[in-house]
Structure 1
């Protein structure tokens, strides 16, 4: 896909929400159209294992999703009925890979191969393991798993709720932004599936 010369790689300014109890968010969509040319990143020191949950149980998946995502206001899959979520994560074309450090879950990524484009649907570290230089290696591993498994194109999205280093990390690994979309959602901490303590970097405006 040719890059649009008019497209700005810089995320636009975040507009204010139109009414109390709502949040504005900017979603950035990115893609990678060829496997990475650079050598695999050096594996971090320590007792690390990357294990596919094949298949993951609903409760274990929710533990990963909730623990990794709560600081960044991940809420969509907390809202899904159990059977609907299980249909997704138990599909053989969906892969959930868990990073273990000294036998303890430290993060995960999810590859969804159910469409023509392979989607890096979720990626992140459990808060206790952020800042230990695991993120770049885990992302590099996710990218290589995707291509080794037959990806034709790899896509991912991130948003302004996420860690501020998320978008630069994706770009440093070879993902190219294709579009920014501004949305407004009801704050999931107000009568929703997330506790009010989630996403402390984003004020609650009621």
Structure 2
């Protein structure tokens, strides 16, 4: 779907725009130097951040679906297991999983497939763990891992489907917005891969 430049704030745009259609503002951000500030303090509790080496498609789907369903993440749900395995099984794609007391709490996906930049492709917490101050620490750790190995640029994007604190959090940890675009998409809950209960904060229009 074609996109166009947009300069208003995310709150200026309604989400539901017609039968089976949604409008979303996507904001692209970048960081051109590693963070110079001290790391975000580690939250209390039994936490472990571990890379999933050669993650199975089923495990990745669990992470992606559980983290992303409230925010209508749908692109990876449309992929076959073979398509998904080709991405997450690539040694240049890193899936780092946060465990809290032995339970998966969130993950970050770092994509190193481009020559001169690294992309923080996905980042988020499982809903049960939102509000426990894990997000800033996980993001800060992900940023620092992304800068290891040498790169000139770290990128990420967020949109108005994401948690409302996502964009301010990225900016607070050093990302700078470079552009925003508006896209209209088919609602993935209407004849799509998501259940109708997904994204309860976003109305369905039929």
Coarse TM-score class (shorter-chain normalised): over 0.9
Q: Distance in 2 between matches of 1:9 and 1:147?
A: 31
**1:105-155 superposed Cα distances (whole Å, 9 cap, x missing partner):** 000000000002100000000000000000000000000000123222000
Q: Distance in 1 between matches of 2:151 and 2:70?
A: 30
Structure 1 counterpart of 2:3: none
Match of 2:172 in 1: 172
SS in 2 for 1:54: coil
Tell me whether 142-151 or 167-176 shows the greater mean CA deviation. 142-151
Distance in 2, matches of 1:38 and 1:67, equals 32
- Give the equivalent residue in structure 2 for 1:39: 38
**C-alpha distance in 2 between matches for 1:159 and 1:12:** 11
Summarize the alignment of residues 39-188 of structure 1 with structure 2, pairs less than 5 Å apart: 39-115=38-114, 116-188=116-188
Deviation at 1:13, TM superposition (A): 2.1
Q: TM-score, normalised by structure 1?
A: 0.93
Match of 1:4 in 2: none
Structure 1 residue 16, shift from structure 2 partner: 6.3
SS at match of 1:87: helix
Once residues 172 and 15 of structure 2 are traced to their aligned partners in structure 1, the CA distance between those partners, rounded to angstroms, is 29
Q: CA deviation at 1:90?
A: 0.4
Q: What per-residue deviation string (whole Å, max 9, x for no partner) do you get for residues 32-79 of structure 1?
A: 000011011110111000000011111100000000000000000000
Q: Distance in 2 between matches of 1:9 and 1:47?
A: 41
Q: Assess, with a 3 A threshold, how the Cα gap between structure 1 residues 9 and 39 changes in structure 2: closer, same or farther.
A: farther
Unaligned runs of 5+ in 2: 1-5
Q: Provide runs of 4+ in structure 1 moved above 6 Å.
A: none
What RMSD over aligned residues (CA atoms) do the two structures have, in Å?
1.5
TM-score, normalising length: structure 2: 0.93
**Equivalent pairs, count:** 200
Distance 2:107 2:33 in 1: 23
Deviation at 1:14, TM superposition (A): 1.2
**Shift in Å at residue 188 of structure 1?**
0.3
CA 1:201–1:18 in 2, change beyond 3 Å: closer, same or farther? closer
